[in-house]
Structure 1
Amino acid sequence: MDGLDTQRRRLILGGAACLVAAALPQTALALPLAVGKPRNIDMLSINTGEHADVCYFNGKQYVDKELAVLNQLCRDHRRNVSTEMDPKLYDQLAAIYDLVDARNPITMVSGYRSPATNEMLRKNGGGQAKKSYHTTGQAIDFFIEDVSLSKLRKAALELQAGGVGYYPRSGFIHIDTGPVRSWS
């Protein structure tokens, strides 16, 4: 009887461990970012020409002042409105940057979009989603000079950290912190 109880206990504990692992955020399991290592982003806005090169994570925690700089850079430039972007989005960018061994700044095409801007673009036939992750600060469209879009896409897909859109005709990829999915 003791052997059966031990087996049952192991089965229950193993099942509980699987449930805990499944409950962890996907980015905690997927992003190849070293624990305790500072994270930097060097980014340029194609729309405003503004540039920021910041250490947004100091190895222990996010740095609010530097996140604010990135959030301002990622603002809706049409309405000059910013929001708090999801820091996991910056983690994805940093991981992609490392995976492709980039040397040039990330060029942001679109970050935050106010609902009004998103609707205006939709009405003009731009193909924006009605409930876009851009409107919640969870998406960014970008490219990196001298890194192919296909290489960026491959790195983003490898992370399994959210949505990945591939837009070779428009010259950028889209990443977001929503469910894992991809499209072209």
Structure 2
Amino acid sequence: MKDTVTPPLVSAAFSLSRRRACQLGLSALFTGLAPNIARAKSHQKRTPQPERFLDLYNTHTDERLKAVYWADGNYIPEVLSHMNQLLRDHRTDEVTSIAPALLDFLHAIGQRVEARYPFHIVSGYRSPATNASLRKRSKGVAKHSRHMYGQAIDFYLPGCDLAVVRRAAVKARRGGVGYYPRSNFIHVDTGRVRAWGASQSKRA
């Protein structure tokens, strides 16, 4: 690169003018960079979000899965696939995609009660045929149950009082919460935030 030499007879006014222009140019340059630098610093300061982990046990098939299903801001497809399999309709062996928001609901409950044991799954996905069959035997089964869409789970947590789990689920405010102490399970789904207890006739 060639050096630029200032002619010896250049006026002082011109030199100052050029210096001022350079200063203004640098000022504009740094002003333009400032937002980018601020964004970079903001990004560096961001606290990484903790991983989301679930420990699930299917009471009908005796299968268990302990895994991180969300990390680095993303769900992990392979793990979700394994969870879909574990939460399948055990009567027909049919599998569907379980709503990630439902898994997050369970995770939130587990965090609140500091669960030490796996979630014992009583009912995950239900095929339409299974749901229809259950409806014939129980008035508590909804015709369009969210179980048929991978949006509901019935479970209990060993070593944790069912009423405590219910309170944690309600406080999480992630969807519907049903309390069935006689049958010893909690129902959660991804519908609107609501709750019902043993004395109410809400269907799941």
> Which residue of the partner structure matches residue 89 of structure 1?
102
The TM-score normalised by the length of structure 2 is 0.72
The TM-score normalised by the length of structure 1 is 0.80
**Structure of greater Rg:** 2
Deviation by residue 1:86-132 (Cα, 9 ceiling, x = unmatched)? 00100010110010011011100000001110000001225211110
Q: Residue 132 in 1 paired to residue 145 in 2?
A: yes
Among candidates 62, 65, 68, match of residue 75 of structure 2: 62
Q: Distance in 1 between matches of 2:101 and 2:48?
A: 14
> Which residue of the partner structure matches residue 157 of structure 1?
170
How far apart are 1:161 and its partner, in Å? 1.1
Among candidates 116, 123, 130, match of residue 136 of structure 2: 123
Deviation by residue 1:125-148 (Cα, 9 ceiling, x = unmatched)? 252111101000000000110001
Q: Distance in 2 between matches of 1:173 and 1:89?
A: 13
Identical positions, percent: 47
Q: Distance in 2 between matches of 1:95 and 1:103?
A: 14
Partner letter of residue 77 of structure 1? H
> Which residue of the partner structure matches residue 190 of structure 2?
177
Query: Using a 3 Å threshold, how does the CA distance of structure 1 residues 37 and 130 change in structure 2: closer, same or farther?
Result: same
Structure 1: 4+ residue segments shifted above 3 A: none
Q: CA RMSD in A?
A: 1.2
> Which residue of the partner structure matches residue 157 of structure 2?
144
Q: Is the 8 A contact 1:121 1:128 kept in 2?
A: yes
Structure of higher RCO (CA pairs closer than 8 Å, 6+ residues apart)? 1
Unaligned stretches of 5+ residues in structure 2: 1-46, 198-204
> Which residue of the partner structure matches residue 122 of structure 2?
109
The aligned length equals 151
Q: Distance in 2 between matches of 1:165 and 1:111?
A: 14
Q: Residue 36 in 1 paired to residue 39 in 2?
A: no
Unaligned stretches of 5+ residues in structure 1: 1-33
